[in-house]
Every structure is written in C-alpha cells, then in structure tokens.
Structure 1
Amino acid sequence: MAEATTDLRVRLRVLRRDFRLEVDLTLPAQGTTAVFGPSGSGKSTLLRAIAGLEPDAVGSIKVQGDVWQDEHASRPAHWRETGVVFQHTALLPHLTVADNLRFGWRRAGSPSTLLDQWIERLALAPLLQRRPESLSGGERQRVALARALVTQPRWLLLDEPLSALDAERRAEILPFIEAVRRDAGIPVLYVTHSVEEVARLADHLVLLEAGAVTAAGPALEILNRADLPLALRDDAGVVLEARVRERDPHGLLTLDTPAGPLHAHGREHVAGARLRVRVQARDISLALQRHDDSSLLNLLPATLVALTELPGGQVQVQLDASGVPLLARVSHRSVERLTLRPGMPVWAQIKAVALLV
C-alpha cells in the first residue's frame, strides 16, 4: 500500500528502564481499531504517544501523509486534531456540563450545529446545568465523549473509557459508544482489556503483549484465531456476525449466522438487525448424536478439527461448523469417554441464555 493512502502510520519506540514499547502499524481510516492486551502491555502508552502526550516516544506518526512526528520535530498535542477520552474524564469541576462542552467547542471553532448534534445523540440535555460531581460515572463519560467530539477531531482516542465503571454503568454507556462508532464518521482508536468490548465494538484489532504487536487485522479474524493467546483465556470463544430473523413475545431472538441458526436472549433487537454474537468455549458441550429431548435450543453440526491439552484436566476442542471456527472446553475424561478425535462429526450444543449479543 502506498504511503499516501494510509490513514494512520505509526512507527514508535518508547524505552524506559523497565519497559519497552516498539510498534510498526498502519491503522485503517474507517471504523474502530481496538488495542487489546493485559495490564502493562503498552496500550495506554501507545495511545498517549499518538495523542502527543508521551515525551519518551521517538519515531514517526503520519496521518494521510500529514506528519505529526518524525526525527526532526513533534507536533504538540493541541495541534494533532485528536479527541481524547481517558478512563477518568478530567472534566472541569467548576463548570457545568454545558460550559465543559462549550470550552472545547469554542477553542476548535466548530459549528454550533455540531454541539447541538452531540448533545442530542448522547442524551445530554437533562444534564447541561449540572456539575461533574453530581453525575454518575456513565454520565461523566458521555459528557467527556461529547466534549471530544465537538472539536471535530480527525481521530477519536478512547483509553479504557469503561474500566472505572461497574457492570450496570458499562451496559448503560455501551449503546452510546456504539452510536459514536456508527454516527461520528471518524476513525476511533479504542484501548481496552475487555474481550466483550472488543467483540462488540471493534472493526480492526491490534494485540499487544509486553510492548510488542503479536497480531493485527480485521477484528473477527483475530478474535477467532485458535493459535493466539486469546484462545487460551478462561473466556475464550468466537464472535459471529448475525442477523435477527425474528423475536418472540418472550424476548427470544432467532439469529441467522454463518454457523447455522442460533437462539439467544438479548436487548430488544428488531427483525433484520445485524449484530454480533459471542459464543464462549465454556458454554459449548459436545454430543455424538443430535438430542432434541433437552432444554438446549442451539444444536450445530460440526467437525472436530483439533484437540489441545489445557491445565487442570481440560481440553480445548477446535470445531468447524459449516466453515466457521468454534471452540469448546471439555474435560479430559469427556474426551476419553466419547473417544473424541480429529475428523469426527459431532454436535455442538449451546444454551440460548449463554450467548452474548
């Protein structure tokens, strides 16, 4: 790919006494790029370096040929046209929500319609006269998102924006982040250590480990690879693209997926809606024959591809369901009892209540 066509070209190195970050990445111009890895892997350092907030970073950063940093100079953070939202929102405590939003909006010289637009899309109108200390964590993050967006950034940088929130607040704000992803029309760099957030939001995925990139590419391809460390985590699984066929009166969705039809409980999606469904390895059981006399609603024919021994007497089972990879976790005893081996046909059984949509 020619240099002029890349959106964000990053070649950076950060050296400290006990840490080294070294990356060479081209991040796509569209959608959301998630940077995922354990604590200490360099995720936030990478984001801060792109934003111009990391003085130890050396190398080059180019945005569609526009040089933000090279060996000769480094553009200051306020000239890099990024909107940054951190885990802790850093709202100005002495200002109301309205004045916090106007602060960045005036400095950027953005049109007033943009301010009104994000107040509406992030449902901030009831909060405008309140001060930050009176807001919940989720409300503060919505304000911080709007404050970043009204500056018309070329990139939106989100550094673990949900990690300080409890499960209820995370569920509250995720739809708003999805709205930003859908409506903002600008690329997003999203740092997280949550597989759930990656599965739900990411179009592109970068895996970091000990300051180095271990994999990068389309999110679903990376998430579903059995040869990466993600596949060995306790919450390992795959993510499938799905389309809602119908929703029954009790909230049970019928989903069309490349692996076959699935039933799941979730939010009130309408027929025709497209979404992602996450199938965790620990939620799949295996059978040698189809069983219709149980409470399990999801039964997928599959071929066993490979078996991998795991600690604690567990075995990871790689499956192929109509060309789609699946992972299952079973006990070593189950492998012996069913005489499981590569190449044999099996049925993957999944509880509808276990699926994450």
Structure 2
Amino acid sequence: MTHLHLAVALDGAGWHPGAWREPDARPAELFTARYWADLVTEAEAGKLDFVTIEDALGVQSDDPTQVQGRLDAVLIAARVAPLTRHIGLVPTATVTHTEPFHISKAIATLDYVSKGRAGWRVQVSARPQEAAHFGRRTVRIDTTEAVSDLFDEAADYVEVVRRLWDSWEDDAEIRDAATGRFIDRDKLHYINFEGRFFTVKGPSITPRPPQGQPVVTALAHAEIPYRFAERAADIVYVTPADAADARRIVDQVKVKHVFADLVVSFRPAELESDAKVVTGTPGQLADLLQEWQAAGLTGFRLRPARLPSDLHGITRGLVPELQARGLFRTEYEPGTLRDRLGLERPANRYAEGARVA
C-alpha cells in the first residue's frame, strides 16, 4: 500500500480566527522562538513530512478581535532547524515586491542550516495596501490579463531563484590550503537572466544548496495558478470540495505532487475558508484522506484550526490511525526533504556551460 505524504500549515494560533482565546492557546508567546519550536518539534514527533509556515506582506485582518502580526517565516524556520533532525521546513516568502536574489540566498541558507530539509512556499501579493508598503508600483487583478501577469512574474522569479541556486557547481569550493585557492572560479557561473520582469546577472553569493534545489511549493485554486505551478513548483496545494473534485484537479494539474489542503478541527468549528473544513474524529479524517488518496492525490497539507490542540489531534490521533492502516511511515528514513518526497537531486544546469571570467 502506498504511503501518503502529510504536512501541516502553521499560522499564529491556528486557522480559526478565535483560536487565540482557547484555554490551551499561548497568545502571549506567538512572537517567541519557543512557541514555534514547540509546534515544529510536535510535528516532527508525528513523523510528518514537513511543516509550512505562513507569512505575508500585510497583517492578516482589519478585525481587532483576531490575531494580527507575524514573525518572518524564513527566520522562524532557520531558528527551529537546529532543534529538529528530520522534518522539512517550508516557509512562505512572497515574490511580488521582493527580489529573487534575496530569497535565493535565504532559502539556500535554510537548506544549509537544516542539512537538506528546506523548501519554499511561493506566494504572490495582490493587495493594494501591501504594494503601498514599497511604493514602487501598483498591482491590478481586475482582468484575466492582469492576473496572468502576476503569475508570469512569479514564474520568472522562481526561475531566477533556481538558476541562482545552480550558479555554483557542487564542487566549486576547493579549499586548497597548499595553493591558497578557496574557490574554483571556473565553477561559478553568471546566470544572465533577461526577462520581462527581471534582469539578473548572478552568480549567487551562497554555494549551491545541499539538495541542489530546495523543494518549491505553491497554493493554487484555479486555472492560472495551476499553470504557474506546472512551470515552477514541485508540490502544488489544491482545495477540492470532495473526492470527485480532487480527481478532476489531479487530471488537470501536471505536477508530481498534488496535495489537498484541508482545515482540520477535532471539535465543531464554524469558520470560512478557501479550503474544505473537516471536523470529526481521527478515524473519520483518516477515512476521508484514504478516499481522496484513491482519487490520485499524493498527500495532504492540514491546517490545524486551533493550536496546539488540533495539531495534537493530527500527530497523536490521526497519525497512529494512518499507521495502523499501513498508510503512513512509522519512522523517518535518512535523507533530505527531496529524498522523502521521491524527488531526485537535479543536475546543475551550468556544469558544462559558460564560465565566470
């Protein structure tokens, strides 16, 4: 029986807007390293494939009764990486308004700090108030063409990042004390990317990551983002309504890993979400995952409605149920996040290309 992949999406006190008021919530600790370390180590205790960490360029809501404010997701991941050994760390980083050079070295650094467990959730920004933080441009999504432009820019961004990751060959660092040469300059490469949205020369200042290419992921709800995911991502998160919808999406999106996003609450919950909200027992949730896996999904990204209680329900209730059915690992195997997901370590595209002078 094929094992499914399982991730959790961490955001503040949970995906329910009132989660911070729960008795076991820790609202006073949301902006501490210990809070995030506890969540990620709990996810690792459940043998999950990876965690994603939410982030954005603006506050979550204008409603003062809801959690507002975040720490930087990439920095959270870097902080908890040394406290974990196996679980993948996939922070969200927005591509609109930011520079691919900066994200390339941030995720590459995370891959080094985590010893090959880094990923990246690519996110676009279409909110006018987020554009106003930067003051360089406005962003429109009032036409199909404008939405396509936003995702075309994101695709170019990811392509630049991937080329920068490859701009050092794996053996570029020779560290030859006898000759005094730390770097083989012939193994550093200009990427010379020229596109509609970016012109980037390279090379990176960070050596090629341990995975070669950290895992790139994206959330997609419709046709245009589906096409973006096909161009740019290793994993796409989708939001089916049921098993038949999941099968339709899997047939439509040609990405190796298609994960369904589900908001999970082990107690009754009323909340609006872009993803299906699932309540019930761990056994009932396991039934649903098994049914949807049969529709062609390779994994699931579960959004706990309340933290830490629904995360505990996943790691201490759902995971043992799936293990008993032979659907989930009982121990981690050695290797990188790419290894765990069955993704080969890609060859360096510049290994035989033009050299830096």
Q: Would you call these one fold, judging by a TM-score over 0.5?
A: no
The structure with the largest strand share of the pair is: 1
In our comparison, the structure showing a higher alpha carbon Rg is 1
The structure with the largest helix share of the pair is: 2
